[in-house]
Amino acid sequence: MNLEHIGAFQILISVIARFWPVWICMAIVMGASYFYRKKLGLYGQLYGTGVGVIGLAVCFFWLFTAIFASVIANFDPIAQIAVMKDALPGAVVPEGSGHGVYLFGGDKLSRDVFSRMVFGSQIVLIIAPAATMFALMVGATLGLPAGYYGGKIDTFLSFLANLVLAFPVILLFYLLVTPGIMETPIPYVMAGIFFLFPIIFFCMLFYTRFKRRPDRLYILLGLTILIGGWVYLGLVFNADPLGIVAIDPNQLNIFIAVVFASSPGVFRIVRGLVMDIKTRDYIAAAQTRGESPWYIMLWEILPNARGPLIVDTCLRIGYTTILLGTLGYFGLGLAPESPDWGTAIKDASRLLRTTIHPALPPTIALMSFVLGLNLLADALREQSLKD
């Protein structure tokens, strides 16, 4: 069936127009941030460098794209319109089959490439940052005592970290997300362990800070246990009584794999920073005041290690994004119909096309997001060195 097509200029204008909520939100957030940059600490300082502004712009672009994906996309990312199979960019959906234009063409299963690219950002923006933050808490909770106490604790925890780091990352991910593992209780047991760390971390944080103020301490501990337990039940046991917190088993498996593979790297960074910072004069002053070791670790050492950790977090989110794309390309972890960028690249890799290849949009999306994170990390590193 011969399809009508719009021109390249119309495609460009249409794509720009589809992102209208993203442009509005970026203008508001970045404009307000620039105006109040002197009051926003490290975040505000990023607006004083070109690299920082570009990195923030790219990251905000994909963040708001993920938020407004249902508004931006022309079609459902898994909807199939038979006549649009392998459609060229700018193909107009014929009357009776739907309404709209396949701006970047169709894939081999007759799905809109543009819509799949847009919705793919949601998967990346949910899994990569969240898994990285969990890895940060696991690594920090173990790295703080290892670096501060040293001795047998350090030897044991460092051995475990080195044991995990000895595995090639891709091979480790492959072993953790294969269907055979997914059918066993192993992912849920690991999830049950890893998801305890944020609860433990915040309980220790509040206890060491407010143990002499029980009125505030009990409220904060109660909220931590209540909210943490609610999220824990939903993520690990899929038993949220309100039905709000839940995660797909495939996504849970990838989530756990990322946390397991990333935590040892965070552990080593935190451990090294603690071993350096604990020799400073203000740590000796805190010890002289009689502060507990965990108070010193959480409220004296950790805040002064935030610069390198923030930089590492940005870079680690980028690495995780690449790993998610790699797993999707090999068909591991996520469901086959998932619109994630790696799966989209895989689905389009066998097509031959002289115009815009359907693998190009998700590839550029993945590359641009990782580039934005790397630029943001560079800007943060420069600012942390100045501080």
Q: How high is the mean pLDDT of the chain?
A: 87
pLDDT reported for residue 356: 64
Window from 76-85, 183-192, 198-207 with minimum mean pLDDT: 183-192
- Comparison of pLDDT for 331 and 81, the residue scoring more: 81
User: What whole-number percentage of the chain has pLDDT above 90?
Assistant: 44
Window from 84-93, 95-104, 269-278, 308-317 with minimum mean pLDDT: 95-104
- Comparison of pLDDT for 254 and 28, the residue scoring more: 28
Q: Which residue has the tokens 């552990």?
A: 267
Closest C-alpha among 372, 367, 243, 234 to residue 315: 372
Window from 130-139, 179-188, 285-294, 340-349 with minimum mean pLDDT: 179-188
Window from 66-70, 327-331, 351-355 with minimum mean pLDDT: 351-355
User: What whole-number percentage of the chain has pLDDT above 70?
Assistant: 94
Give the CA-trace dihedral at 169, 174, 177, 179, to 10 degrees.
-170
Which residues of 32-168 form beta strands (DSSP E)?
91-92, 101-102
**Residue partners of 45: CB distance under 8 A and separation at least 6:** 37, 52, 383
pTM as predicted: 0.88
Both tokens of 300, joined, read 């004296």
pLDDT-based confidence at residue 171 (cuts at 50, 70, 90): confident
91 has a pLDDT exceeding 90: no
Q: Please compute the mean of the pLDDT values over residues 316-331 and round it to a whole number.
A: 84
pLDDT reported for residue 352: 57
In the chain, domain spans: 8-121+356-386, 122-318
- Comparison of pLDDT for 331 and 355, the residue scoring more: 331
Both tokens of 133, joined, read 């933050």
211 has a pLDDT exceeding 70: yes
Phi, psi of 178 (to 5 degrees): -70, 150
Both tokens of 379, joined, read 């800007």
